[in-house]
Amino acid sequence: MPRAAPQEANVVRLKRLGIDTYQEPVVFLASSSPVCGSERWTAQARIQVTHRNKSIIATLSVAMSNLLGPEGGVAV
């Protein structure tokens, strides 16, 4: 049986904003981010975030303002 081709992950910059979300991991992604459009992610989607050898599942919030800058970076 042929193996599925590995899916290439989208890579974005992480930045801590210091927002208290209690125990809920939340990722803010600029609506202008190419990742948001290419993955067809919408607010409240559950996404996997991996850094080095650790992963978490987080809830996505989409930022419509310039809070995250023009590059559309991610903030956790």
Question: How far is residue 31's CA from residue 66's CA, in Å, rounded to a whole number?
Answer: 10
Q: Over the stretch 15-59, which tens digit does the pLDDT of each residue have?
A: 788 889 899 999 888 888 777 766 677 888 898 988 889 999 999
Question: Would you list the domain boundaries of the chain?
Answer: 26-75
pTM above 0.75, yes or no: no
Dihedral, CA atoms, 29, 35, 39, 42, nearest 10 degrees? 20
Instruction: Indicate if the pLDDT at residue 76 is higher than 60.
Output: no
